[in-house]
Amino acid sequence: MKPIISLSPHVHGGDSVQKNMYGVCIALIPALIASLYFFGLGSAIVLATSVAACVFFEWAITRFILGRERLTICDGSAVLTGLLLGFNLPSNLPIWIIIIGALVAIGIGKLTFGGLGCNPFNPALVGRVFLLISFPVQMTSWPLSGQMGYVDAETGATPLALMKLAIKEGDTSYLDQLPSAFDMLVGQTGGSLGEVSALCLLIGCCFMLWKKIITWHIPVSILATVFVLAGIFHLIDPSYANPVQVILSGGLMLGACFMATDYVTSPMTARGQLIYGCAIGVLTVLIRDFGSYPEGMSFAILIMNGFTPLINTYVKPKRFGEVKK
Amino acid sequence: MNVILIAVIVLGAIGLVSALILFLAAKKFAVHEDERIGKVAEVLPQANCGGCGFPGCSGFAGACVKAADKGSLEGLLCPVGGQPVMEKVADILGMKAEASAPKVAVVRCNGTCESRPRIAEFDGAQSCRVQQMLGSGETACAYGCLGCGDCVAACQFDAIHMNPETGLPEVDEEKCTACGACSKACPRGVIEIRLKGLKNRRVVVLCNNKDKGAVTRKACSVGCIACQKCVKVCKFEAITVDANLAHIDAEKCKLCRKCEDECPQNAIHAFNFPPRKPKAEASAAEKPAAAAKPAVPAAEKPAVNEATVPAGSPTANVEPAKEQ
Amino acid sequence: MKTFKIGGVHPAENKLSAAEPIRTAAIPKQAVFSMFQHIGAPAVPVVKKGDEVKVGTLLGEAGKGLSVPVFSSVSGKVNKVDAVLDSSGTRRMAVVVDVEGDEWLESIDRSDKLVTFKDLGTITAEEVVSRIKAAGIVGMGGATFPTGVKLMPPPGTKAEAIIVNAVECEPYLTADHRLMLEKPEQILVGIQLIKHAVNCPKAYIGIEMNKPDAIQLLTNLLKEKAAQYPGIEVVPLKVKYPQGGEKQLIDAVIGRQVPAPPALPINVGAIVQNVGTVYAIYEAVTKNKPLIERIITVTGKSVAKPSNFLARIGTPMQQLIDEAGGLPADTGKIIGGGPMMGRALMSLEVPVTKGSSGLLLMTEKESRRGEVSPCIRCAKCVSACPMGLEPYLLASYTRLKDWDGCEKNDVTSCIECGSCAFTCPSNRPLLDNIRVAKQTVMGIIKARHMEAIGKK
């Protein structure tokens, strides 16, 4: 017998990249079901295209452009990027636009930097923001929920657009058109595929917390900051929507639970994650209320992704036995 | 008009203030450096290998200038640039360069996969330093090459590579600058920076094992067992045995290759000699061990093993060694 | 429930031999006594080939500086004094004894009778410490730091709490657990001796909740004989690895954190002793018995009879495995110690030493590490590190050979517990790399220190 020798530890906890990635995918299932329920065929087509395109580009680029032998499509990261990208798109988006989005997300957002673990920005958001800026019309005509078809869906104003209008005009009557908080929680509103049901996203988030895939720091800090800041604005000027509706609207829940918590692009320490989460919350509210886009979550996350290395450099964990100076 | 004027004034004012700050900062934080340091650094190879013993080329340049102020450049050598670069440095500093012989890195281990059986399997970060923490590592030899290639990673000049067949690193003598980075990277000190020798010819003990003969022999069939035969045969007192390991002093060695013929373990190797004349082969009948010794050991390894069965094979020699 | 504050992981416990009473292992035919059984300078052999030795005969006296003596655990004839393969994987100086019979030195009291603290009469603190030193006792949890040195607090420090480490947080190992169940009173007397030696009124026994029987037994005993064993308290701790780490245990039990090196536990007023060491102290002081035996767990998933042995130091591991049912055919890795911090052994010839707490045979399948994939920056290593370090960062600094960066990020604080590599989903060899960095940085610091001294 030739014994195997190695340094300790000799046992491993059994955690793996796949487990984490597919864990997040599982956590997205409630939201996936909700999107199928509310958008039907359109949702299925968009999500399937997005996932398939992301996996294909991951395979093609690593294989033929980077010339790597080892396949990385099985680790689940491309599937996850595809799912998240799809969740950020409206259900009537033409297939060719989705494919461009997937190419940008995987090609530019991820593999340009060296693949899994090396990308400074969340790939799905890179793809989404690229599409948002390149195809503003298609990307912002949200079909109303409850329409099962893919093409020619009836579009309407999202809650976020109404909120923006209310602020611009200084007219609180727009806010009266907002769906009730309960409808927003369950999903009776228009918007991107993954945004409609805040409740399903929260269920997924709890699943990830239970499985210890993520920690509470980022989602809680984002939601708390947004709630407090939006609350202050609402108290000062009632033409700003009430904080509960702000939290339940748009991509905030999806961003806070699934996009901002992306391992690669978020800070490493608990303290760093709190700073990162609070900054995302502040930026989101500022962009939503004062920027030219109604939605601020994607931009806020991407901006803070850029700050993550800086946070990692300056925010260290509390060392054991650290003496207070 | 007004708008343009305001813009011009504001921007101009910002520019002026910034310029002032820059000017003050440049004055305040100016670093006064001997301009000779920059000049010396220019002629250095800029590999920043640290082979000279200083942190990078600018560190070496600083040391040269300091030494020149004291009057001598002795002991300072850029191993990469060698003599030509040192002459240039001396020119800049108005000194005379001292001659120094060229050197090369030599891997003092010949424990190939065949000659050194693997007794364990290493699993972990592919680094010699990690394996070194596990005692003797994959083989029973606690002194030989670990084969994970820390030296290869350390080389700035692409001059050392692992041979996948032997599992040992091989030095590209053309590219090797004797900077010593590989030697420092090796946790076992297997790599020696050695005089290149006349016409690049060298005779070297390719072993680093300091265990007793019997232990060495068990671990490796081509290890030095400190039998002293080479010491006795050497007429120039170039060979010493210290801590169960023979070492040939490159300065004293006259390249007669007698020790190479004498070594029962084939641990001594000659590099860059022309192939031996047929005359030597004729005498092979009497001295089988001395026969077809290859100039480059790794290339003709199996032939050596066959030729040396009577004297050098492990099976033939283990028993008598135990009795001693 | 108390536990340490930062990080930690929960490896599968696998305490297969927890219910196995301690068995006395057979005396070996040949025993090997390494001179390197402790941290510090090696012992110096004082016997030569052919010498007759008895159980308890001095084989090697303490070297210069930090060192302890080594005693024979068998009687017979010295076969050789030579470099022998030991658990470090290299050949180091050792005394090899061919066993003949089992003759003990007469000064050793071999009876099982409990000697209480009162029976010892007016023994002085110095006397206790000197007996401990003379018996060659070292930390038996695996660190093998000379105990006598630990019991002499440097000037300016005062021991305020003795903490007995009965945590045994390593999976598989049950030696300390069994010892507590079978020799509880002896351990309590040992604790009294330590308290006496360093003049400290308070002692705590830290035990994890996965050993409820030991907690119960000791608590009841302390309740019944409160007058006899004053100032001793059992502290049940929440199960979490690496609670048995000295610094983590102090944090868990008395809530004080030892600052970064060079600070020592005594700087926060704590002295930590392993429960095995406490038992050895009891035997040394009351029975005049040097450290010649220890309890070792031989275990593994495919071992026929996982057991706890009372084995003579110097017994070859092979013999213990034979007594535990033989080497399983599917063995892939032989580990001296536990799976989290133990050393992989290359051979079964290596002897039991003072620090051998266990022998673990892992199956081939368990032994191999998983395929390494890129770091996904999940930060699980950061939250697992009990020292509050950033393992991912230290490992990448090591790859870049940025030793300054490693030093600035406190690589020297690493206790090498392995929590980071255990938890890494990408199977990255974090601790392998951090060890390299720690070694290098320690070397740099030492060189700097020497230079500073040279300048003065």
Query: How far does the CA of residue C323 sit from the closest CA of chain B (Å)?
Result: 24
Residue A295 and residue A293: Cα distance in Å, rounded? Answer: 5
Name the residue facing B124 among A2, A3, A6 (closest C-beta): A6
- What residue of C is the nearest CA neighbor of B128? C436
Query: Which of A306, A189, A315, A310 lies closest to A252, judged by CA?
Result: A189
Residues C238-259 have pLDDT tens digits of: 999 999 999 999 999 999 999 9
**How far apart are the C-alpha atoms of A265 and C425, rounded to whole Å?**
17
Quick one: tokens of C66? Answer: 């930090």
The answer to whether residue A96 scores a pLDDT higher than 90 is yes
* Side chain identity, residue C66: L
- Average pLDDT score over residue span C203-221: 94
Task: Tell which of C369, C432, C434, C441 to mutate to test the B interface (max B CBs under 10 Å).
Answer: C432
The proportion of chain C whose per-residue pLDDT surpasses 70, expressed as a percent, equals 100
- Omega cis (within 30) before C262: yes
Residues of C in contact with A5 (CB under 8 A): 89, 333, 344-346
CA torsion C125-C129-C134-C135 (nearest 10°) is 110
pLDDT tens-digit map of A118-150: 999 999 999 999 999 999 888 877 777 666 666
Higher-pLDDT residue of C126 and B276 is: C126
Q: pLDDT of A235-286, one tens digit each?
A: 998 888 888 888 888 788 899 999 999 999 999 999 999 999 999 999 999 9
Instruction: State chain B's mean pLDDT as an integer.
Output: 80
Lowest-confidence pick of C83-92, C251-260, C380-389:
C83-92
- The domain ranges of chain A are 17-140, 165-313
- CA torsion angle for C83, C85, C88, C92 (degrees, to 10)? 0
CB A84 within 8 A of CB A124: yes
Tell me the per-residue pLDDT of B204-227, one tens digit each, with 9 for 90 and over.
999 999 988 888 998 999 999 999
pLDDT of residue A152: 60
- What does the buried/exposed string (b/e) look like for C3-32 if buried means 16 or more CB atoms within 10 Å of the residue's CB? bbebbbbebebbbbbbebebbebebbebbb
As a whole number, mean pLDDT of residues B64-72 equals 81
Residue ranges, comma separated, of all CATH 3.40.50.11540 domains in chain C are 118-287
Is the Cα dihedral C339, C342, C346, C348 positive or negative? negative
pLDDT for residue B312 is more than 60 = no
Q: What DSSP string runs through A242-288? A: PHHHHHHSTTHHHIIIIITT-TTTS-SSHHHHHHHHHHHHHHHHHHH
- With contact defined as 3+ CB pairs under 8 Å, the chains touching B are A, C
Instruction: Tell me how far CA of residue C367 lies from CA of A125, C344, C363, in angstroms.
Output: 40, 10, 6
Dihedral angle sign, alpha carbons of residues C354, C355, C359, C365 = negative
Output the pLDDT for position B56.
82
The verdict on A6 touching B (C-beta cutoff 8 Å) is: yes
- Per-residue pLDDT reduced to its tens digit, C409-421: 999 999 999 999 9
> Measured between alpha carbons, how far is residue C73 from residues A257, B88, B166, C248 in Å?
63, 69, 45, 34
C433 lies within 8 A of chain B by CB: yes
Distance, in angstroms, between B134 CA and closest chain A CA? 7
End-to-end CA distance of chain A: 56
DSSP state of A291: S
Residues 45-104 (B) with a CB less than 8 A from some CB of A: none
pTM: 0.85
User: Among partner residues B121, B133, B137, which is closest to A4 by beta-carbon distance?
Assistant: B121
Q: Which CATH architecture has domain C118-287?
A: 3-Layer(aba) Sandwich (3.40)
Nearest C-alpha in C relative to B185: C401
State pLDDT tens for residues A261-273: 999 999 999 999 9
Least confident range from B39-43, B53-57, B263-267, C397-401: namely B53-57
Three-state DSSP state, A50: helix
Q: What is the separation, in whole angstroms, between the first and last Cα of chain C?
A: 51
pLDDT over 80 at A202, yes or no: yes
pLDDT band per the 50, 70, 90 thresholds, residue C178: very high
User: Chain B, 75-134: which have a CB under 8 Å from a chain C CB?
Assistant: 119-120, 123-125, 127, 129-130, 133-134
Closest by CA to C13, choosing from C210, C164, C201, C279, is: C210
A196 to chain C nearest CA, in Å? 28
| ipTM, two decimals | 0.88
Distances C82 to B136, B216, C30, C312 between C-alpha atoms, Å:
17, 15, 14, 20
Distance of alpha carbon C51 from alpha carbon C30, whole angstroms: 14
| All residues at 6 or more sequence positions from B80 whose CB lies less than 8 Å from its CB, including other chains | B45, B47, B49, B51, B157, B177, B179
More reliable by pLDDT, B314 or A174: A174
Nearest to A45 by CA among A2, A11, A96, A5: A96
Residue C119 burial class via C-beta count within 10 angstroms: exposed 0-12, middle 13-18, buried 19 and up: exposed
Suggest the residue from A1, A6, A11, A16 to mutate for an interface test with chain C (most C CBs closer than 10 A). Answer: A11
| CA nearest to B136 within chain A | A5
Closest Cα in chain A, distance from residue B130 (Å): 8
CA distances (Å), origin B211, targets B32, B216, C83, C365, C367: 55, 6, 9, 35, 30
Region label for C300, one of left (φ > 0), alpha (ψ between -120 and 50) or beta (otherwise): left
User: Chain C: residue nearest A313 by CA?
Assistant: C393
Record: contact A8-C431, CB cut-off 8 A: yes
**Is residue A172 over pLDDT 80?**
no
Residue C226 in this model has a pLDDT that exceeds 90: no
* Residue B284: per-residue pLDDT: 42
Q: Is the pLDDT of residue C279 over 90?
A: yes
A3 contacts C333? CB cut-off 8 A: yes
C164 neighbors C191 (Cβ within 8 angstroms): yes
Distance of CA A267 to the CA centre of its chain: 16
**Model confidence at A80: pLDDT above 80:** yes
**What one-letter code names the amino acid at A129?**
V
In this prediction, residues B176-194 reach a mean pLDDT of: 89
One-letter amino acid of C15? K
Identify all chain B residues contacting C335, using CB atoms and an 8 Å cutoff: none
The alpha carbon of residue B293 is apart from the nearest alpha carbon of chain C, in Å, by: 33
Beta carbons within 8 Å of C108's beta carbon, 6+ residues apart? C55, C56, C287, C288, C289, C290
Out of A2, A3, A7, the one facing B124 most closely (by C-beta) is A7
What mean pLDDT is predicted for residues C105-128?
A: 87
Q: Do B122 and A5 touch (CB under 8 A)?
A: yes
pLDDT at site B60: 86
Neighboring chains of C (3 or more beta-carbon pairs < 8 A) = A, B
- Alpha-carbon span A196 to A248, nearest angstrom: 9
Beta strands in chain B, from DSSP E residues, in sequence order: 103-107, 121-122, 160-163, 168-171, 191-195, 202-205, 239-242, 245-248, 268-271
- Domain spanning C26-101+293-365 has what CATH number? 3.10.20.600
Which residue of chain C comes nearest to A261, CA vs CA? C378
The backbone torsions φ and ψ at residue B106, rounded to the nearest 5 degrees and listed phi first, read -125, 125
Of C340, C370, C390, the CB nearest to A8: C340
Q: Does A317 reach chain C within 8 Å, measured CB to CB?
A: yes
Backbone φ, ψ for residue B185 (5° rounding): -75, -25
Contacts of A2 in chain B (CB under 8 A): 118-121
How far apart are the CA of C57 and the nearest CA of chain B, in angstroms? Answer: 29
Q: Which two tokens stand for residue C426?
A: 């990408």
Give me the CATH code for the B36-93 domain, please: 1.10.15
Q: Chain B: residue nearest A5 by CA? A: B122
Flag if C344 and A117 touch (Cβ within 8 Å): no
Separation between Cα atoms, residue A5 and residue B133, nearest integer Å: 11
CB contact under 8 A, C379 and A269: yes
Q: Where in chain C is the domain with CATH 3.10.20.600?
A: 26-101+293-365
Query: Does C242 sit behind a cis peptide bond, omega within 30 degrees of 0 on the bond before it?
Result: yes
Residues of A with Cβ-Cβ distance to B138 under 8 angstroms: 5
Q: What's the average model confidence in pLDDT over C90-115?
A: 90
pLDDT for res A150: 66
pLDDT number for residue B300 = 39
**Is residue B126 within 8 angstroms of chain A, CB to CB?**
no
Please state whether the peptide bond connecting residue A9 to the residue before it is cis, i.e. omega within 30 degrees of 0.
yes
Measured between beta carbons, the chain A residues lying within 8 angstroms of C375 are 117
Average pLDDT, chain C: 92
3 state DSSP class of A211: coil
Lowest pLDDT segment from B79-83, C146-150, C316-320:
B79-83
Which pair of structure tokens corresponds to residue C246?
A: 């000295």
pLDDT attached to residue B323: 37
Rounded Cα gap, residues B90 and B97, in angstroms: 6
Q: Which of B188, B198, B199, B169 is nearest to B105 (CA)?
A: B169
* Helix and strand counts by DSSP (H, E) for chain A: 16, 1
How far the first Cα of chain B sits from its last, in Å, is 107
> C113: which 2 tokens?
């009778």
Q: Which residue has the higher pLDDT, B47 or C385?
A: C385
Pick C310 or A294 by higher pLDDT: C310
Question: Which is nearest to A7 in space by CA: B134, C364, C348?
Answer: B134
Q: Which helix (H) or strand (E) holds A5?
A: strand A4-5
Check CB contact under 8 Å for B134 and C83. no
Question: Does C435 contact B130 at a Cβ distance shorter than 8 Å?
Answer: yes
Question: Can you give chain C as a three-state secondary structure string?
Answer: CECCCCCCECCCCCCCCCCCCEEECCCCCEEEEECCCCCCCCCEECCCCCCEECECCEEEECCCCCCCCEECCCCEEEEEEEEEECCCCCEEEEEEEEECCCCECCCCCCCCCCCCCHHHCCCCHHHHHHHHHHCCCECCCCCCCEHHHHCCCCCCCCCCEEEEECCCCCCCCCHHHHHHHHCHHHHHHHHHHHHHHHCCCCEEEEEECCCHHHHHHHHHHHHHCCCCCCCEEEEEECCCECCCCHHHHHHHHHCCCCCCCCCCHHHHCEEEEEHHHHHHHHHHHHHCCCCCEEEEEEECCCCCCCEEEEEECCCEHHHHHHHCCCCCCCEEEEEECCCCCCEEECCCCCECCCCCCEEEEEEHHHHCCCCCCCCCCCCHHHHHCCCCCCHHHHHHHHHCCCHHHHHHCCHHHCCCCCHHHHHCCCCCCHHHHHHHHHHHHHHHHHHHHHHHHHHC
In the structure, what pLDDT confidence band is assigned to residue B85 with cuts at 50, 70 and 90?
Answer: confident
Q: CA A274, A278, A282: angle at the middle one, nearest 5?
A: 170
C284-340 tens-digit pLDDT:
999 999 999 999 999 999 999 999 999 999 999 999 999 999 899 999 999 999 999
* Confidence tier at B241 by pLDDT (50, 70, 90): very high
pLDDT at res. A325? 55
**Structural domain boundaries of chain B?**
36-93, 103-323
DSSP-derived letter for residue B160 is: E
Residue of B nearest to A6 (CA): B123
